[in-house]
Protein backbone atom coordinates (compact mmCIF):
# COMPACT_ATOMS: atom_id res chain seq x y z
CA UNK A 1 0.00 0.00 0.00
CA UNK A 2 1.47 3.33 -1.07
CA UNK A 3 0.44 6.91 -0.50
CA UNK A 4 -1.37 8.43 -3.46
CA UNK A 5 -2.51 11.91 -4.42
CA UNK A 6 -5.02 13.22 -6.93
CA UNK A 7 -5.78 16.73 -8.14
CA UNK A 8 -9.52 17.32 -7.97
CA UNK A 9 -11.50 19.23 -10.62
CA UNK A 10 -12.35 22.06 -8.21
CA UNK A 11 -8.69 22.78 -7.43
CA UNK A 12 -8.35 20.81 -4.21
CA UNK A 13 -5.92 17.94 -3.60
CA UNK A 14 -6.80 14.51 -2.27
CA UNK A 15 -4.08 12.65 -0.32
CA UNK A 16 -4.79 9.06 0.73
CA UNK A 17 -2.75 6.42 2.55
CA UNK A 18 -4.45 3.62 4.49
CA UNK A 19 -6.92 5.20 6.94
CA UNK A 20 -5.61 8.72 6.28
CA UNK A 21 -7.93 10.40 3.75
CA UNK A 22 -7.21 14.10 3.34
CA UNK A 23 -8.81 16.78 1.19
CA UNK A 24 -6.74 19.97 1.09
CA UNK A 25 -7.36 23.46 -0.25
CA UNK A 26 -5.25 26.60 -0.07
CA UNK A 27 -5.64 30.18 -1.31
CA UNK A 28 -2.87 32.71 -1.88
CA UNK A 29 0.05 33.41 -4.17
CA UNK A 30 0.23 30.70 -6.81
CA UNK A 31 3.91 29.97 -6.23
CA UNK A 32 3.50 29.82 -2.45
CA UNK A 33 0.48 27.53 -2.75
CA UNK A 34 2.28 25.18 -5.16
CA UNK A 35 5.33 24.99 -2.89
CA UNK A 36 3.15 24.32 0.16
CA UNK A 37 1.29 21.50 -1.58
CA UNK A 38 4.57 19.84 -2.50
CA UNK A 39 5.90 20.19 1.06
CA UNK A 40 2.64 18.74 2.38
CA UNK A 41 2.93 15.74 0.06
CA UNK A 42 6.52 15.06 1.12
CA UNK A 43 5.48 15.18 4.78
CA UNK A 44 2.43 13.00 4.16
CA UNK A 45 4.24 10.16 2.39
CA UNK A 46 6.03 8.84 5.47
CA UNK A 47 3.53 9.82 8.13
CA UNK A 48 1.55 6.58 8.30
CA UNK A 49 4.68 4.53 8.93
CA UNK A 50 5.69 6.91 11.73
CA UNK A 51 2.40 6.19 13.49
CA UNK A 52 2.51 2.45 12.82
CA UNK A 53 5.98 2.30 14.39
CA UNK A 54 4.51 3.56 17.67
CA UNK A 55 1.10 1.91 17.44
CA UNK A 56 1.29 -0.09 20.72
CA UNK A 57 1.92 3.12 22.66
CA UNK A 58 -0.76 5.00 20.76
CA UNK A 59 -3.32 2.33 21.69
CA UNK A 60 -2.37 2.37 25.38
CA UNK A 61 -4.38 4.47 27.87
CA UNK A 62 -3.04 7.98 28.41
CA UNK A 63 -1.18 8.31 31.72
CA UNK A 64 0.80 10.99 33.49
CA UNK A 65 3.86 10.56 31.23
CA UNK A 66 4.59 9.09 27.82
CA UNK A 67 7.45 7.46 25.95
CA UNK A 68 6.04 8.34 22.52
CA UNK A 69 8.69 9.91 20.30
CA UNK A 70 7.14 11.16 17.05
CA UNK A 71 5.89 14.73 16.81
CA UNK A 72 2.40 13.63 15.70
CA UNK A 73 2.27 10.84 18.31
CA UNK A 74 3.19 13.32 21.04
CA UNK A 75 0.57 15.76 19.77
CA UNK A 76 -2.06 13.02 19.99
CA UNK A 77 -1.02 12.24 23.55
CA UNK A 78 -1.00 15.89 24.62
CA UNK A 79 -4.49 16.47 23.19
CA UNK A 80 -5.84 13.51 25.18
CA UNK A 81 -3.88 14.15 28.38
CA UNK A 82 -6.57 16.39 29.98
CA UNK A 83 -8.95 13.39 29.86
CA UNK A 84 -6.60 10.80 31.36
CA UNK A 85 -8.80 10.22 34.43
CA UNK A 86 -11.25 8.40 32.18
CA UNK A 87 -10.30 5.77 29.62
CA UNK A 88 -8.67 7.55 26.70
CA UNK A 89 -5.93 6.53 24.29
CA UNK A 90 -4.02 8.90 21.99
CA UNK A 91 -5.91 7.35 19.06
CA UNK A 92 -8.86 9.56 20.02
CA UNK A 93 -6.95 12.47 18.46
CA UNK A 94 -5.30 10.76 15.49
CA UNK A 95 -7.34 12.28 12.65
CA UNK A 96 -7.10 15.82 13.96
CA UNK A 97 -3.40 15.47 14.73
CA UNK A 98 -2.61 14.26 11.20
CA UNK A 99 -4.62 17.13 9.68
CA UNK A 100 -2.78 19.58 11.93
CA UNK A 101 0.62 18.21 10.92
CA UNK A 102 -0.08 18.58 7.21
CA UNK A 103 -1.57 22.04 7.70
CA UNK A 104 1.77 23.15 9.15
CA UNK A 105 3.15 23.14 5.60
CA UNK A 106 0.72 25.95 4.71
CA UNK A 107 1.52 28.34 7.55
CA UNK A 108 3.86 30.49 5.50
CA UNK A 109 4.07 33.82 3.71
CA UNK A 110 1.85 34.00 0.67
CA UNK A 111 -0.85 31.65 1.99
CA UNK A 112 -4.02 33.53 2.89
CA UNK A 113 -6.17 30.59 3.88
CA UNK A 114 -5.86 26.82 3.95
CA UNK A 115 -7.66 23.84 5.35
CA UNK A 116 -6.96 20.14 5.69
CA UNK A 117 -9.98 17.89 6.12
CA UNK A 118 -9.17 14.39 7.39
CA UNK A 119 -12.50 12.57 7.28
CA UNK A 120 -14.35 15.48 8.90
CA UNK A 121 -11.65 16.60 11.33
CA UNK A 122 -10.34 19.90 10.01
CA UNK A 123 -7.22 21.99 10.61
CA UNK A 124 -7.38 25.63 9.52
CA UNK A 125 -4.92 28.36 8.60
CA UNK A 126 -6.40 31.87 8.46
CA UNK A 127 -4.22 34.87 7.79
CA UNK A 128 -5.40 38.17 9.36
CA UNK A 129 -8.69 39.28 7.86
CA UNK A 130 -9.56 35.83 6.54
CA UNK A 131 -12.49 33.60 7.54
CA UNK A 132 -13.90 30.17 6.79
CA UNK A 133 -17.36 28.60 6.80
CA UNK A 134 -17.72 25.02 8.00
CA UNK A 135 -20.79 23.05 6.96
CA UNK A 136 -22.73 21.10 9.58
CA UNK A 137 -24.39 17.83 8.57
CA UNK A 138 -25.84 16.26 11.69
CA UNK A 139 -27.03 12.81 10.64
CA UNK A 140 -25.19 10.79 7.99
CA UNK A 141 -28.01 8.22 8.08
CA UNK A 142 -30.00 10.66 5.93
CA UNK A 143 -27.42 10.58 3.15
CA UNK A 144 -28.57 9.09 -0.12
CA UNK A 145 -27.04 8.67 -3.56
CA UNK A 146 -28.72 11.77 -4.96
CA UNK A 147 -27.27 14.00 -2.25
CA UNK A 148 -23.81 12.58 -2.79
CA UNK A 149 -24.09 13.30 -6.52
CA UNK A 150 -25.64 16.76 -6.35
CA UNK A 151 -24.37 18.12 -3.03
CA UNK A 152 -25.46 17.96 0.58
CA UNK A 153 -28.32 19.97 1.98
CA UNK A 154 -26.50 21.17 5.07
CA UNK A 155 -28.16 21.49 8.45
CA UNK A 156 -26.23 24.70 9.10
CA UNK A 157 -22.94 26.53 8.86
CA UNK A 158 -20.37 27.76 11.35
CA UNK A 159 -18.35 30.83 10.42
CA UNK A 160 -14.83 31.08 11.85
CA UNK A 161 -13.00 34.40 11.73
CA UNK A 162 -9.24 34.89 11.94
CA UNK A 163 -9.66 36.88 15.17
CA UNK A 164 -11.14 33.85 16.92
CA UNK A 165 -8.77 31.47 18.77
CA UNK A 166 -10.08 28.56 16.69
CA UNK A 167 -8.00 26.62 14.18
CA UNK A 168 -9.50 23.17 14.61
CA UNK A 169 -12.91 21.59 13.98
CA UNK A 170 -13.83 17.98 14.74
CA UNK A 171 -16.98 15.88 14.77
CA UNK A 172 -17.71 12.67 16.66
CA UNK A 173 -20.75 10.49 17.25
CA UNK A 174 -21.93 6.90 17.05
CA UNK A 175 -22.43 7.01 13.27
CA UNK A 176 -19.80 7.01 10.56
CA UNK A 177 -16.27 5.85 11.25
CA UNK A 178 -16.32 6.95 14.88
CA UNK A 179 -16.80 4.59 17.80
CA UNK A 180 -18.74 6.19 20.62
CA UNK A 181 -20.09 5.24 24.03
CA UNK A 182 -22.99 7.66 23.56
CA UNK A 183 -25.95 8.18 21.25
CA UNK A 184 -25.18 11.55 19.65
CA UNK A 185 -25.63 11.60 15.88
CA UNK A 186 -22.91 14.23 15.88
CA UNK A 187 -20.97 16.52 18.18
CA UNK A 188 -19.03 19.27 16.42
CA UNK A 189 -16.34 21.04 18.44
CA UNK A 190 -14.32 24.17 17.71
CA UNK A 191 -10.98 24.41 19.53
CA UNK A 192 -7.50 25.93 19.30
CA UNK A 193 -6.18 23.03 17.24
CA UNK A 194 -7.56 20.12 15.26
CA UNK A 195 -5.98 17.63 17.68
CA UNK A 196 -7.63 19.28 20.68
CA UNK A 197 -10.98 19.47 18.89
CA UNK A 198 -10.74 15.77 17.95
CA UNK A 199 -10.13 14.60 21.52
CA UNK A 200 -12.79 16.88 22.99
CA UNK A 201 -15.44 15.86 20.44
CA UNK A 202 -14.93 12.23 21.50
CA UNK A 203 -15.41 13.10 25.17
CA UNK A 204 -18.54 15.19 24.62
CA UNK A 205 -20.10 12.63 22.25
CA UNK A 206 -19.55 9.90 24.87
CA UNK A 207 -21.45 12.04 27.39
CA UNK A 208 -24.58 12.33 25.19
CA UNK A 209 -26.13 9.21 26.62
CA UNK A 210 -29.08 7.51 28.31
CA UNK A 211 -29.72 3.98 29.53
CA UNK A 212 -32.28 2.18 27.40
CA UNK A 213 -32.36 -1.55 26.67
CA UNK A 214 -33.33 -0.85 23.06
CA UNK A 215 -29.96 0.78 22.37
CA UNK A 216 -27.60 -1.83 20.94
CA UNK A 217 -24.02 -1.87 22.22
CA UNK A 218 -21.20 -4.31 21.49
CA UNK A 219 -17.58 -4.72 22.62
CA UNK A 220 -15.50 -2.40 20.47
CA UNK A 221 -13.20 -5.15 19.19
CA UNK A 222 -16.19 -7.05 17.78
CA UNK A 223 -17.23 -3.99 15.81
CA UNK A 224 -13.72 -3.24 14.55
CA UNK A 225 -10.95 -5.69 15.30
CA UNK A 226 -8.25 -2.99 15.46
CA UNK A 227 -10.17 -0.81 17.92
CA UNK A 228 -8.15 0.71 20.75
CA UNK A 229 -11.23 0.47 23.01
CA UNK A 230 -10.95 -3.31 23.44
CA UNK A 231 -13.94 -4.80 25.26
CA UNK A 232 -15.57 -1.47 26.13
CA UNK A 233 -19.17 -1.49 24.80
CA UNK A 234 -19.73 0.97 21.95
CA UNK A 235 -23.01 2.04 20.40
CA UNK A 236 -23.96 0.29 17.16
CA UNK A 237 -27.69 1.08 16.86
CA UNK A 238 -30.04 3.64 18.38
CA UNK A 239 -33.78 3.30 17.70
CA UNK A 240 -36.10 6.32 17.73
CA UNK A 241 -36.31 7.45 21.35
CA UNK A 242 -38.88 9.58 23.21
CA UNK A 243 -38.06 13.26 22.95
CA UNK A 244 -37.63 13.45 26.73
CA UNK A 245 -34.84 10.88 26.60
CA UNK A 246 -33.13 12.61 23.68
CA UNK A 247 -33.24 15.93 25.49
CA UNK A 248 -31.89 14.35 28.67
CA UNK A 249 -28.99 12.84 26.73
CA UNK A 250 -28.24 16.16 25.06
CA UNK A 251 -28.34 17.95 28.40
CA UNK A 252 -25.72 15.57 29.78
CA UNK A 253 -23.54 16.22 26.76
CA UNK A 254 -24.04 19.97 27.06
CA UNK A 255 -22.95 19.89 30.69
CA UNK A 256 -19.75 18.08 29.68
CA UNK A 257 -19.13 20.58 26.87
CA UNK A 258 -19.62 23.50 29.25
CA UNK A 259 -17.17 21.91 31.67
CA UNK A 260 -14.53 21.63 28.93
CA UNK A 261 -15.30 25.19 27.85
CA UNK A 262 -14.81 26.48 31.40
CA UNK A 263 -11.43 24.69 31.51
CA UNK A 264 -10.35 26.40 28.31
CA UNK A 265 -10.23 23.14 26.34
CA UNK A 266 -12.82 24.09 23.69
CA UNK A 267 -14.31 27.25 22.26
CA UNK A 268 -17.70 25.93 21.14
CA UNK A 269 -19.69 22.70 20.79
CA UNK A 270 -22.81 21.88 18.78
CA UNK A 271 -24.63 18.66 19.74
CA UNK A 272 -27.20 16.81 17.61
CA UNK A 273 -29.35 13.77 18.36
CA UNK A 274 -32.45 12.57 16.51
CA UNK A 275 -33.40 15.96 15.14
CA UNK A 276 -32.75 17.83 18.39
CA UNK A 277 -29.88 20.30 18.78
CA UNK A 278 -28.18 22.19 21.55
CA UNK A 279 -25.00 24.22 21.76
CA UNK A 280 -22.72 26.08 24.07
CA UNK A 281 -22.32 29.81 23.76
CA UNK A 282 -19.08 31.38 22.56
CA UNK A 283 -18.11 34.92 21.55
CA UNK A 284 -17.87 35.43 17.82
CA UNK A 285 -19.40 32.13 16.72
CA UNK A 286 -21.88 32.63 13.90
CA UNK A 287 -24.25 29.69 13.54
CA UNK A 288 -26.75 29.79 10.69
CA UNK A 289 -29.42 27.32 9.64
CA UNK A 290 -30.12 25.92 13.11
CA UNK A 291 -32.33 28.48 14.87
CA UNK A 292 -33.30 26.07 17.66
CA UNK A 293 -29.68 25.42 18.55
CA UNK A 294 -28.89 29.12 18.36
CA UNK A 295 -31.73 29.95 20.74
CA UNK A 296 -30.58 27.29 23.19
CA UNK A 297 -26.99 28.50 22.94
CA UNK A 298 -28.04 32.03 23.77
CA UNK A 299 -29.37 30.83 27.10
CA UNK A 300 -26.00 29.43 28.17
CA UNK A 301 -23.21 31.30 29.91
CA UNK A 302 -20.11 31.75 27.76
CA UNK A 303 -16.61 31.19 29.09
CA UNK A 304 -13.16 32.60 28.50
CA UNK A 305 -11.00 30.60 26.14
CA UNK A 306 -7.59 30.79 27.80
The mean per-residue pLDDT over the stretch 81-105 comes to: 96
Instruction: Give the model's pLDDT for residue 62.
Output: 96
Which domains, and CATH codes, for the chain? Answer: 1-127 (3.10.520.10), 128-161+163-300 (no CATH)
Crossing angle of helices 71-80 and 194-207, rounded to 10°: 40
Q: Is the pLDDT of residue 302 over 70?
A: no
Q: What is the pLDDT of residue 147?
A: 42
| Mean pLDDT (whole number) for 46-50 | 97
Q: Which residues, including other chains, have CB under 8 Å from residue 115's CB and lie 6 or more apart?
A: 24, 25, 26, 103, 122, 123, 124, 125, 132
Nearest to 201 by CA among 92, 303, 58: 92
Which residues 6+ apart lie within 8 Å of 52 measured at CB? none
SS3 11: coil
Contacts for 164 with CB less than 8 Å, ≥ 6 apart: 190, 267, 284, 285
CB contact at 8 A, 96 and 168: yes
**Mean pLDDT across the chain:** 88
The DSSP element (H or E) to which 243 belongs, if any, is helix 243-262
How far is it, in rounded angstroms, from Cα 292 to Cα 301?
17
Q: Are 190 and 267 in contact (CB under 8 A)?
A: yes
DSSP class of 120: T
Tens of pLDDT, residue by residue over 209-243, are 999 999 999 999 898 888 888 899 999 999 999 99
How would residue 157 be classed by pLDDT, with cut points 50, 70 and 90?
confident
* Global confidence as pTM: 0.90
Residue 163 half-sphere exposure, CB side, CA atoms within 13 Å?
Answer: 4
Over range 53-63, report the average pLDDT: 96
Indicate if the pLDDT at residue 264 is higher than 70.
yes
Question: Can you tell me the mean pLDDT for 48-64?
Answer: 96
**pLDDT value for 207:** 97
pLDDT digits (tens, 9 = 90+) for 101-127: 999 999 999 999 999 999 989 999 999
Q: List own/partner pairs for 280-283 with CB under 8 A and 24 or more apart.
A: 280/254, 282/190
pLDDT grade, residue 95 (50/70/90)?
Answer: very high
Instruction: Give the pLDDT band of residue 150 (cuts 50, 70, 90).
Output: very low
Q: List strand residue ranges (DSSP E) for the chain, in order.
A: 4-7, 13-17, 20-28, 111-118, 121-126, 131-136, 156-161, 168-172, 186-191, 216-219, 233-237, 268-273, 276-279, 286-288
- 160 versus 286: which is more confidently predicted? 160
Amino acid sequence: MHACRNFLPDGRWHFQHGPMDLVIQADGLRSAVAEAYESAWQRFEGLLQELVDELPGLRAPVGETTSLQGVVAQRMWLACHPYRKGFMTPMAAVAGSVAQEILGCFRCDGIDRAWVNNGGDIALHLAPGQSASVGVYADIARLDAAQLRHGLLLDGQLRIDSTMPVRGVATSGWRGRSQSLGIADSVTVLARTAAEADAAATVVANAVNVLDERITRMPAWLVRDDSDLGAIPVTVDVPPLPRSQVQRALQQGLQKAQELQSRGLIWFALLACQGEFTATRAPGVSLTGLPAAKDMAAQEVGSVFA
